[in-house]
Amino acid sequence: MMRVFLILLWTMNLVQPNVPQAAGVQVFPPVNFTLTVSALAQVLLHWKPNPNQEQTNYTIRYDVKILSPVPEEYDTMKTHSLRTAALHNGFSAHIRMLLLHNELQMRSDWVKEELPPPPGTPETSVTNLSCVTRITISNTVSLHCTWLPGQGAPEDTEYFLFYRYKAYTEECQDYIKDKWNRNTECRFSATRIDPEEVDELIVIHINGSSKYAAIKPFQQLFNQNAIEKVNVPRNVTVFLDQNDLLATWEKPISPFREECFEYEFYLCNLKSGTKQILKISSNDFRLWIDVTNRYSIQIRANHHICCTRGFWSDWSEIIYVGKN
């Protein structure tokens, strides 16, 4: 009996609205705030205005404050909001109602909701996940990920990798195993990743199973451009024009325009041993050299103006110029 009474008191305390003296209007916190996992590493926040809330003549907005895993604050007029976040350590958020009328701004109390972390034995999730994409000749994107088994993962642990890109989710079919026969690498030779998109997220989800322990899932978000291993510049030609070295090349295989690329030009004087790396933002280059010496030349590429920088391409094949 006592207990029921206490809980009742406590609940009433929670829904106690703010009463701004000036306006004489009560601002009630939103109700039925729910968090739903709607896809891998995706949460739908959903709530309703308080049915006791007087709404006429007011603009209603909601403050959303994400507390974890990545703090973020924003406001919205909608009663739902979709977020992408790694959920292996759970997710928690606060919302409150904002009532706006002329100069007046009134706020309700916060309502909190959280998703618990998925179950699993500590130290069983994968570590050191790294992923690389490449753009193929056929203008599709391949994906390659590697990871280490968790320190506490039993030897029979089998890991499974999934990627999600926008609304599309796919499980890996091509695993590479370590010496204990555990999956530690995965290849997708083609994915639904759009090579023309900029800064879109790739979600990686790795869970697992074992006879001896519950394996904790792990998620990580990658910017598709930041993990792209850029292709090598093409058709590099180098020749001498009197005392000048002239080099021209084509941009790597990529849907991005020529202006999106930068290059590094590696010049090694094989006689003196002097090495130089020059940053270049065009597709050709002229440099005075001592033509009585012999040089080796290589070029590599990265994109950066049109999107986030990726991993530098491999160096192009060595080209030699000059006299021996």
- The footprint of ligand NAG (CB under 6 A) covers 31-32, 40, 48, 51, 56-57, 127-128, 148, 160, 162, 207, 209, 234-235, 250
Phi and psi angles of residue 91, each rounded to the nearest 5 degrees, phi first:
-155, 135
Whole-angstrom Cα distance, residue 13 to residue 2? 17
Q: Are 264 and 313 in contact (CB under 8 A)?
A: no
CB of 49 to ligand NAG, least distance (A): 7
CB of 127 to ligand NAG, least distance (A): 6
CB of 32 to ligand NAG, least distance (A): 4
Least Cα distance to 100 among 25, 14, 17 occurs for 25
Q: Are 79 and 49 in contact (CB under 8 A)?
A: yes
Nearer to ligand NAG, 163 or 295 (CB): 163
Nearer to ligand NAG, 220 or 322 (CB): 220
Least Cα distance to 47 among 24, 27, 31 occurs for 31
Q: What tokens does 12 get?
A: 């009433």
Name the burial class of residue 49, with classes exposed (0-12), middle (13-18) and buried (19+) by CB atoms within 10 angstroms of its CB: middle
Least Cα distance to 46 among 61, 27, 32 occurs for 32
Phi and psi angles of residue 8, each rounded to the nearest 5 degrees, phi first:
-60, -45
Nearer to ligand NAG, 102 or 324 (CB): 102
Nearer to ligand NAG, 42 or 269 (CB): 42
Whole-angstrom Cα distance, residue 112 to residue 254? 45
CB of 40 to ligand NAG, least distance (A): 6
CB of 155 to ligand NAG, least distance (A): 17
Nearer to ligand NAG, 148 or 287 (CB): 148
Long-range contacts of 17-23, Cβ-Cβ distance < 8 Å, separation of 24 or more: 17/52, 17/108, 17/109, 18/106, 18/107, 18/108, 18/109, 20/104, 20/106, 22/104, 23/101, 23/104, 23/106
Nearer to ligand NAG, 90 or 269 (CB): 90
Least Cα distance to 182 among 229, 147, 217 occurs for 147
CB of 63 to ligand NAG, least distance (A): 19
Nearer to ligand NAG, 31 or 291 (CB): 31
Whole-angstrom Cα distance, residue 136 to residue 313? 13
CB of 251 to ligand NAG, least distance (A): 8
Q: Are 234 and 253 in contact (CB under 8 A)?
A: yes
CB of 114 to ligand NAG, least distance (A): 18
Nearer to ligand NAG, 205 or 268 (CB): 205
